[in-house]
Amino acid sequence: MLSCNDRDVNIDDRDDGGQCIDVDDVRKRETSISSRVIASSHRPSFILESFVVPTFDISGDVGPGAALKANWETKMDVKNMNRRSSVVIKHAETTLMYRSVELDMSSKDNVEVQKESTVHIMDGFSFPSTRKSYNIEWVATEIAKDRKRGEIMFDLKIEVQVMIKSRVLIKIDKLRLYCEGITLNFKNISSNIPTWDGSNRECKSGL
């Protein structure tokens, strides 16, 4: 069966009943379907799967002179719940925050999440950081106070440029998400390393 757009086709001479395909009409229908798929697509969700502290070395008292060297590692589940469209994380920048102070950041590019699937994104942070500027002594002193009280809380800010893809159309979107109140405690008296209590796993949209 030939295309109706083919000007060389003499439909009266065809032996298939003069039937043909209007390619432009097919393309319009495909575009219309893809538009509805894109319009109804869900943004990916970000769920904090793990928050690990490999290194936490604090010295000095809770007053001036406190010093801290620490590393944090996170694993984030990025879930695409769409049945007909895939998701590409074009750029994701994750920032570790303590009392609104941005301690360190990590970024990822071009991570694809297929339809109805999940991808893990790993990020690492350190203190002090060469990527952020802040009052190191103040942060170390405040964390030392929290250490003495038995728990420390952090936040994660995630800024994402995401592309949602159907068969013929794409949509670019920007997200800003927060995982707030991530609590690390020192219940293990034999270790100086704090552990995450597993709460506040879902990263929610923010301004």
pLDDT at site 11:
47
Instruction: Tell me the backbone φ, ψ of residue 190, rounded to 5 degrees.
Output: -90, 0
pLDDT at site 188:
76
Which residues have CB under 8 Å from 185's CB, separation 6+?
150, 151, 152, 194, 195, 197
Q: Is residue 122 part of a domain?
A: yes
pLDDT at site 34:
45
Q: Is residue 138 part of a domain?
A: yes
Q: What is the CATH classification number for the domain harbouring 62?
A: 2.60.40
pLDDT at site 37:
45
pLDDT at site 200:
77
pLDDT at site 49:
96
How does DSSP classify residue 43?
P
Q: What is the rounded distance in angstroms from the CA atom of residue 1 to the CA atom of residue 125?
A: 60
Q: Is residue 172 part of a domain?
A: yes
Q: Is residue 75 part of a domain?
A: yes
Tell me which residue range forms the domain holding 139.
36-205
Q: What is the rounded distance in angstroms from the CA atom of residue 176 to the CA atom of residue 41?
A: 18
pLDDT at site 192:
85
Contacts for 163-166 with beta carbons within 8 Å, 24 or more apart? 163/87, 163/88, 163/90, 164/38, 164/41, 164/43, 164/82, 164/85, 164/86, 164/87, 165/85, 165/86, 165/87, 165/88, 166/34, 166/37, 166/38, 166/41, 166/84, 166/85
Domain count, the chain: 1
Structure tokens at 57: 């070395």
- Of 49, 52, 50, 97, the C-alpha closest to 71 is 52
Q: What is the rounded distance in angstroms from the CA atom of residue 92 to the CA atom of residue 85?
A: 19
Q: Is residue 29 part of a domain?
A: no
Q: Is residue 132 part of a domain?
A: yes
Q: Is residue 11 part of a domain?
A: no
Give Cα 181 to chain centroid, integer Å.
18
In the structure, how many helices (H) and strands (E) does the chain have? 2, 9
Q: What is the mean pLDDT, run by run of 10 residues, along the chain of 207 residues?
A: 53 53 51 47 92 92 79 97 92 98 98 96 97 95 92 97 84 94 87 89 84
pLDDT at site 38:
46
Residue type, 123: D
Q: Is residue 76 part of a domain?
A: yes
pLDDT at site 191:
80
- Of 100, 207, 206, 78, the C-alpha closest to 153 is 100
